[in-house]
Chains A and B, each alone.
Chain A
Amino acid sequence: MIWDWAFAIEILPRLGQAAIVTVQATVMGFALAATLGLGLTLARIAWPRTALPISVGVELVRSTPLLIQIFVLYFVGPEIGLVLDALTAGTLAIGVHYAAYCSEVYRAGFEAVPRSQWEAAEALNLNRGTALMRIILPQAIPPVIPALGNYLVALFKETPLLSAIAVLELMQTAKIIGSESFRYTEPITLVGLFFLGMSLISAALIRLVEARITQGVRR
C-alpha cells in the first residue's frame, strides 16, 4: 500500500512539534519584515537623503535569492563575528528579505495619499514629522494591508528554505523522518497539506480584513 495510515498518525506529533517552529519563524520573520519595511519607507520620506542608499539596499535584497541570503547570514556571518543559531539566522534572513518587499508595498501606500493632504497639514502648520505620523501614515496603511497579507502567506510558504541550514521546521523534520524510515510519502504529503490548510485559512482571513477596510473607507 502506498499510504500507511498508522505511520501517518505515528509521525503526527513530531510534525506538530516542527509546525510550531515553522509558525514561529513565520510570525517572527513577518513581524520583522512589516516593521523594518515600514521603518525603511518612513526613513525614505522623512530623510530624503537616505532614499538612494535604501533603494540600493532594497534592490540588492530583492534581486538575490533568499536561499543565498540565508546561507550568507548563517555560514559567512561567523567569519565576521556574527554567530547565530540556525533558527535566528534563518528568521532574520527571511525577515530582511521580505522587509524589502514590504517597504515597496508601503511606499506605494504612501504615494497613493494625495499631495493635497500634505499641503493641508502644512497649511495648519503641522511639522513634517507630525504630518507624516498623524495624517499621512493612517491613510497610507489600510489600503496596503491586503498586499502585506499576501506577503505573509508567501513568506510562510518559503520557510521550508530554512531546512537548508538544518532548522528543525516542518520540511527538515519530514526529510529526517523520511531518511529514518524510508517512507517519504506520508511526511511530505502531510507537510504539504499543512501548508495548504494554513495558506487557505490565511487567505480567508486576509479577505475578511480587506472587506472590513473597504467598509471603513466608505464609512
Chain B
Amino acid sequence: MMQDPMVRFQNVTKRHGSHIVVDGLNLDVARNEKVAIIGASGSGKTSLLRMLMALDPVDSGEIFIEGEPLTHMERQGKRLPPDMAHIRRMRGKVGMVFQSFNLFPHLTAMGNCIEAPMRVLGLTRAAAIERATELLEMVGLASRKDYYPSQLSGGQQQRVAIARALAMRPKVMLFDEVTSALDPETVGEVLTVIRRLGEEHDLTMMVVTHQMGFAREFADRVCFLHQGRICEEAPARDFFHNPQNERTRAFLRAVLEAG
C-alpha cells in the first residue's frame, strides 16, 4: 500500500442490479500522479470515476481523498453515512470532464467557467472572470469566450469543459473518455491541453482513455480493468512493452488491430 495517497479505493464494489460493475477494487493514486485507466467498455472504468466524483454511491468499500473518507464520515468516533455537506466538501477536491462535454448550452464559454466559482466558491464576478480568462487562455480559447457551446467545435467545447472544471481549483482531475465523442481532427488539440496541464500544474490526474498512444506517453502508470477489477497495472513503458497478463495482451492486440 502506498504512503499517503491522494486517492485510495479500498475494496470498492459497485453493482447495477445484479450486474457487478466494480468488484472489490483496490487502487491508490499518488499526489500528482497521472494514471491512465484502460479496458473494454463495461469493465468499470467510468464507474470508478463517477464514484470518486460522488455522482454514484459505492455499494461497499471505501474511497479516501487525501486520507479523508468520501464514502462515510466520522462523528465522535462513530461511522456515519456521508451527509450532503460532507459530500460537497469532499467533492470540491475533484473535477471531472465528461465524454459528451456537458457544457451548459444557455451560457457562453465564459459563463460556463464562472457560474460555479461564483455560486459555490463565492467569488465575485470580477474575480471569477479573471480566473476564467486565464484558464480559457491556457486552453487556447480566450478569443472564443463569448461564444455559446453550439458555436464551438467539439474539440473547442471539450477544452472549455476542461477550463470549467479547473476553475473550481480541484486537486484531482478526472477525464472520462474525453476524446471519444470528438472528430478525429480535433482529438489532438484536446490531448495537447491535457498534456500541458499535466506538465505545468500540480494535479493528480486519472484518465480513462482508448487512446493507447496517449496513455503510453502521458501516464506514469497504466491500469487495465477487466470485469471490475484491476487485471494489470504497471508503469506506462513496461505496461505496453511487456504486458504480463494474457487478458492485457489480448486487449492490446485487439485495440492495436482496430488502429
Contact = CB atoms under 8 A, between A and B. Distances in A.
A179 interface: no
B115 A124 contact: yes
Contacts of A122: 54-55, 91
Interface in A114-168: 116-117, 119-127, 130, 134-135, 138-139
B116 A126 contact: yes
B120 A219 contact: no
B96 interface: yes
Contact of B104 (A117, A123, A127, A130): A117
Contacts of A139: 104-106
B53 A123 contact: yes
Contacts of B100: 116
B156 to A, nearest CB: 15
A123 B95 contact: yes
A49 interface: no
Contacts of A138: 106
What size tier do the contact residues of chain A reach?
10 to 19
A89 to B, nearest CB: 39
A34 to B, nearest CB: 20
B116 A125 contact: yes
What size tier do the contact residues of chain B reach?
20 to 34
Interface in B81-109: 84, 88, 91-92, 94-96, 98, 100, 102-106
Contacts of B115: 124, 126, 134-135
A119 B100 CA distance: 12
Given A116-B102, A219-B151, A127 B55 contact: no
B208 interface: no
B178 interface: no
B92 to A, nearest CB: 6
Identify the interface centre among A120, A121, A134: most chain B CB within 10 Å of its CB: A120
B85 to A, nearest CB: 10
Contacts of A124: 115-116, 120, 164-165, 168
A119 B106 contact: no
Contacts of B151: 219
Nearest to B106: A138
Contact of B55 (A119, A130, A217, A219): A119
Nearest to A218: B150
Contacts of B75: none
Contact of B168 (A125, A134, A217, A218): A125
Contacts of A127: 84, 88, 120
Contacts of B103: 120
Given A124-B165, A125-B92, A218-B150, A119 B102 contact: yes
A125 B148 contact: no
B92 A120 contact: no
Contacts of B150: 217-219
A156 to B, nearest CB: 30
B119 interface: yes
Nearest to A120: B102
A212 to B, nearest CB: 15
A123 B106 contact: no
B121 to A, nearest CB: 9
A124 B91 CA distance: 8
A130 B118 CA distance: 11
Contacts of A117: 102, 104
Nearest to A219: B148
Given A135-B104, A219-B148, A123 B165 contact: yes
A120 B151 CA distance: 20
A116 B105 CA distance: 12
Nearest to B115: A134
Interface in B153-181: 164-165, 168
A116 B164 CA distance: 15
B120 A126 contact: yes
Interface of A: 116-117, 119-127, 130, 134-135, 138-139, 217-219
Given A117-B104, A139-B105, 5 more contacts: A116-B102, A123-B96, A124-B168, A130-B120, A139-B104
15 contacts: A116-B98, A116-B102, A117-B102, A119-B98, A120-B104, A122-B54, A122-B55, A122-B91, A124-B115, A124-B120, A124-B165, A125-B92, A125-B116, A138-B106, A139-B106
The 8 A-B pairs at the shortest CB distance, nearest first, are namely A124-B116, A120-B102, A123-B96, A138-B106, A116-B102, A125-B120, A130-B119, A219-B148
